[in-house]
Amino acid sequence: MGQADAWLRTTRLSGPLARGVMDKTAIRDAATVIVVRDAAVRPRVLMGQRGAQAAFMPNKFVFPGGALDAGDHDVPLAGALPELCLSRIEERSTPGLGPGLAAAAVRELWEETGLRLGRPGAWPGAAPPDWQGFAAAGVVPAADRLSFVFRAITPPGRPRRFDARFFLVDAAALLGDPDDFSGASDELSHLQWIELERVREFQLPFITEVVLAEVAAALPDLGPPATVPFFDNGAEESLFRRLGGVGPMAARG
């Protein structure tokens, strides 16, 4: 049993998720990146704090990530997402989203932390507007070191809702200095590498705690898992699924 399975069996759901409260906020596809440093000896994860005025998860410490942009679908990748990851992403999803989500993960990591995941090289054509700064550095994004490890749809009743795919990557795959956040936007503050054994001292969203437990249980392995946990809050009934695994289990109040 994975950590997410154990959580679902032992935790009573509360709030909008338990009550089945629905709202009409559109669900946007999104990508989140869990960057792990020194996985085998002293695992740390890269996180930052959202602002107090943020509409989504204010004041929380989160992983870099955000919504899929239209231009992400047209971005060339120096290395493709592993086939197992593509296969799992395709399950219960819009066909063909995998490469765009992988590109979104690379872009959001760069925008929010200034860190690049890619390879030196020239782009084959003009970069989309959101990617021009990335391309100007002479780097082509690469997704072959990303592992798709978790999926979660934001429960109804929240001001923003996302269908978030979580990607895991080793910090060794980053270009440049992993401690240099000078190119980061102002979306996340207090960017830092947090030791896994201390991460719960920080103010975390509940789903982040679940994802971290799943990642910690798999360490030091950073490769794609055989099955991917999926918290499916996209319909009236909240379900826990495993992509590539057995059928759904209903969340019970």
Whole-angstrom Cα distance, residue 113 to residue 105? 12
**pLDDT classification of 2: cutoffs 50, 70, 90:** low
Mean pLDDT of the chain: 86
Residues 88-126: tens digit of each pLDDT: 999 999 999 999 999 999 999 999 999 999 999 999 999
Q: Is 236 a residue whose pLDDT tops 90?
A: no
Q: Is 251 a residue whose pLDDT tops 50?
A: no
Residues 184-223: tens digit of each pLDDT: 998 899 999 999 999 999 999 999 999 999 999 999 999 9
Q: Give pLDDT, residue 50.
A: 82
Q: Is 74 a residue whose pLDDT tops 60?
A: yes
Parent domain of 166: 3-250
Q: Give pLDDT, residue 237.
A: 76
Whole-angstrom Cα distance, residue 223 to residue 147? 6
Instruction: Calculate what percentage of the chain has a pLDDT beyond 70.
Output: 83
Number of domains in the chain: 1
Residue matched to tokens 């819009």: 94
**pLDDT classification of 130: cutoffs 50, 70, 90:** very high
E strands, the chain, in order: 27-37, 44-50, 61-62, 65-67, 118-120, 139-141, 147-153, 161-170, 188-195, 228-232, 239-243, 249-250
Whole-angstrom Cα distance, residue 214 to residue 207? 11
Q: Are 48 and 65 in contact (CB under 8 A)?
A: no
3-state secondary structure of 190: strand
Instruction: Calculate what percentage of the chain has a pLDDT beyond 90.
Output: 73
Where residue 71 sits, what CATH number does that domain have?
Answer: 3.90.79.10
Backbone phi, psi, residue 175, to 5°: -85, 135
> What's the rounded mean pLDDT across residues 154-169?
92
Measured from the Cβ of residue 93, the count of other Cβ atoms closer than 10 Å reads 17
User: 0.75 cut: is pTM over it?
Assistant: yes
Of the candidates 1, 19, 2, 77, the residue with the CA atom closest to the CA atom of residue 251: 19
Pairing status of strand 147-153 against strand 161-170: antiparallel
